[in-house]
């Protein structure tokens, strides 16, 4: 009996120890309501430099040889953050045209994010030897520059695998393998977006990109640790949580597709290296990259959460200047916080969004309903003539009701088919987008007579009531761009208007509809 009691006591002691060990192993979920991941909650940061995460070779076209490269990273974490065992990680790469730069260039940015609670790292990637022959050859050969981009992207993929391996084994860095963000400045951002948005080897239409992926072992590349420490193919760099792009670009926006990671981007609107508002040749090269504006448009089109900080009149280096860099870090962190803290209630849960056209005046009425609203600022109504490029046509303040609310918005008279969506803006400046509603205006009764049509400089309008009328000309977004008083015949001066399709409406002196017509401006 005595032996049984002793065994029972030993059993319960072992169970208690096991439970204590199990409880100690559970991750501590940070309290994001304190401002963690969005504001500076830690006063000091510690840095672990020169951590080796991979090996490969760099190309030197002037000699035709490959030079072995040891790739290192610097790791940053907040001092006093001992409770968190699964922190979000931001991996950043420096800029320098794939020729120069060093990981310490982003020391300030890594520290800024770490003070907010993120684990951060700035990494090496292989650079082209800066000889005149190398620069002349690569910068004038898009296929060779694409090859360098893929090499850098593959090195970043190796860094992602390195941290995910650690999370599954020693957990020395205490990162959450499902919350890994990538980004960088300039060339570093170009590489990061290749990592985040290329889903398979053949997705990218650039033949040089495809060839490089195939040459270097496929999508994950061939950068790895050595010997028994190799991480391929056991670990993957796929499934990233988001991207922080600073003055970066991508060769084709179409690879940003449904289900890809969210995007924060910052760029000067007068960037002289990578075009801000279009897709064009990078300075001093023949390689085409698309800047922040078309990237944001594509992300919005395919339903990816995104935020763009355009620095008006800023050049390529503006986002990294002392005047702008702190705001870039603060905005990016605020954008990432809701992604890091999914347990927090969604700012807006949209349950309905619909619209209809009023036959009497061709205006549209949009209505929407929410189930809940938290930290919601306003709703921006956006319109499009083609379903791709949207522009704001009005805003509605949010009632910010936890139990939800109902809203309505009246559009200007519509021209043919129009597309509408809501940009639902939060108090922290981030935005989510509603599904698209399509409205078709089929109320062009009593047509006016326009000649010529199409027209370039002016058009004569006839068929007006004898008592006179007021003419209103609306563009494809429903905005009134011209209005004049007229009698039976009138002339519209349209030389200064941009080409497009317009709706002309006549309203009588009593306010009644007196005719309408569609005008094409060449």
What does the pLDDT read at residue 415?
65
Instruction: Answer yes or no: are the C-beta atoms of 513 and 360 closer than 8 Å.
Output: yes
Q: What is the 8-class DSSP label of residue 283?
A: T
Angstrom distance (rounded) from CA 176 to CA 167: 7
Chain centre distance of CA 14:
51
Angstrom distance (rounded) from CA 105 to CA 124: 11
Q: What is the 8-class DSSP label of residue 126?
A: -
Residue 224: partners with Cβ closer than 8 Å, 6 or more residues away? 54, 55, 56, 158, 161, 230, 231, 232
Instruction: Answer yes or no: are the C-beta atoms of 113 and 65 closer than 8 Å.
Output: no
Angstrom distance (rounded) from CA 464 to CA 469: 7
Q: What is the 8-class DSSP label of residue 33?
A: G
Instruction: Answer yes or no: are the C-beta atoms of 37 and 338 closer than 8 Å.
Output: no
Q: Provide the β-strand partners of residue 20.
A: none
For 375, 389, 420, 422, 520, the CA distances from 384, given in Å and listed in that order, are 28, 6, 6, 12, 17
Instruction: Answer yes or no: are the C-beta atoms of 142 and 208 closer than 8 Å.
Output: yes
Angstrom distance (rounded) from CA 42 to CA 77: 10
Residue 138: partners with Cβ closer than 8 Å, 6 or more residues away? 61, 128, 144, 145, 148
Which pTM was predicted? 0.64
Whether the domain at 348-440 and the domain at 449-521 fall into the same CATH topology: yes
What does the pLDDT read at residue 216?
94
pLDDT means over runs of 10, the chain (522 residues): 38 33 39 80 96 94 88 97 91 95 96 96 93 82 94 97 96 95 97 95 92 94 95 94 97 93 96 96 93 94 91 95 91 89 70 84 87 88 78 91 89 78 84 82 68 90 80 80 85 90 78 77 88
What does the pLDDT read at residue 352?
85
Please tell me the class of the 449-521 domain.
Answer: mainly beta
Using alpha carbons only, give the angle 373, 377, 378 rounded to the nearest 5 degrees: 95
Is domain 348-440 annotated with CATH 2.60.40.10? yes
Where do the domains of the chain lie? 28-340, 348-440, 449-521
Please tell me the class of the 28-340 domain.
Answer: alpha beta
Chain centre distance of CA 137:
33
């Amino acid at each position: 009996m005595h032996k049984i009691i002793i065994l029972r006591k030993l059993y319960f002691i072992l169970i208690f120890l096991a439970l204590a060990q199990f409880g100690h192993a559970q991750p501590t979920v940070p309290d994001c309501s304190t401002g963690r991941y969005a504001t500076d909650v830690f006063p000091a940061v510690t840095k672990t430099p020169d951590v080796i995460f991979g090996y490969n070779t760099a190309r030197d076209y002037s000699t035709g040889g490959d030079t072995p490269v040891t790739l290192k990273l610097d790791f940053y974490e907040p001092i006093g953050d001992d409770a968190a065992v699964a922190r979000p990680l931001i991996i950043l790469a420096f800029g320098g045209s794939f020729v120069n730069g060093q990981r310490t260039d982003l020391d300030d940015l890594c520290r800024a994010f770490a003070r907010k609670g993120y684990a951060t790292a700035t990494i090496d990637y292989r650079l082209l030897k800066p000889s005149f022959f190398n620069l002349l050859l690569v910068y004038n050969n898009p296929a060779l520059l694409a090859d360098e981009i893929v090499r850098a992207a593959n090195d970043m993929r190796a860094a992602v695998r390195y941290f995910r391996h650690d999370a599954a084994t020693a957990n020395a860095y205490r990162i959450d393998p499902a919350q890994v963000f990538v980004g960088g400045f300039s060339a570093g951002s170009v590489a990061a977006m290749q990592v985040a948005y290329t889903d398979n080897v053949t997705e990218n239409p650039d033949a040089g990109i495809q060839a490089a992926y195939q040459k270097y072992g496929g999508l994950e590349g061939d950068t790895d640790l050595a010997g028994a420490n190799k991480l391929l193919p056991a670990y993957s760099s796929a499934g990233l949580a988001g991207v922080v792009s600073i003055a970066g670009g991508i060769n084709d926006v179409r690879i940003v597709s449904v289900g890809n990671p969210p995007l924060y981007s910052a760029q000067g609107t007068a960037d002289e290296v990578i075009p801000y508002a279009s897709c064009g040749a990078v300075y001093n090269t023949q390689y085409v990259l698309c800047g922040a504006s078309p990237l944001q448009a594509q992300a919005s089109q395919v339903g990816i959460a995104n935020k763009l900080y355009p620095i008006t009149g800023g050049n390529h280096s503006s986002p990294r200047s002392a005047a702008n860099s702190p705001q870039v870090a603060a905005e990016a962190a605020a954008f990432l916080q809701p992604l890091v803290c999914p347990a927090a209630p969604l700012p807006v849960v949209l349950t309905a969004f619909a619209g209809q056209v009023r036959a009497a005046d061709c205006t549209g009425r949009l209505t929407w309903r929410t189930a809940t609203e938290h930290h919601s600022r306003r709703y921006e109504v956006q319109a499009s003539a083609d379903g791709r490029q949207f522009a704001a046509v009005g805003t509605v303040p949010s009632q910010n009701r936890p139990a939800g609310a109902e809203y309505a918005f009246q559009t200007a008279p519509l021209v043919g088919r129009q597309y509408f969506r809501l940009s639902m803006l939060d108090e922290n400046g981030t935005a989510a987008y509603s599904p698209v509603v399509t409205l078709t205006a089929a109320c062009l009764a009593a047509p006016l007579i326009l000649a010529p049509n199409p027209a370039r400089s002016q058009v004569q309008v006839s068929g007006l009531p004898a008592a006179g009328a007021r003419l209103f000309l609306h563009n494809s977004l429903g905005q009134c761009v011209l209005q004049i008083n007229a009698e039976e015949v009138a002339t519209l001066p349209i030389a200064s208007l941009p080409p497009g399709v317009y709706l002309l409406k006549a309203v009588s002196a009593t306010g009644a509809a007196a005719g309408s017509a569609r005008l094409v401006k060449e």
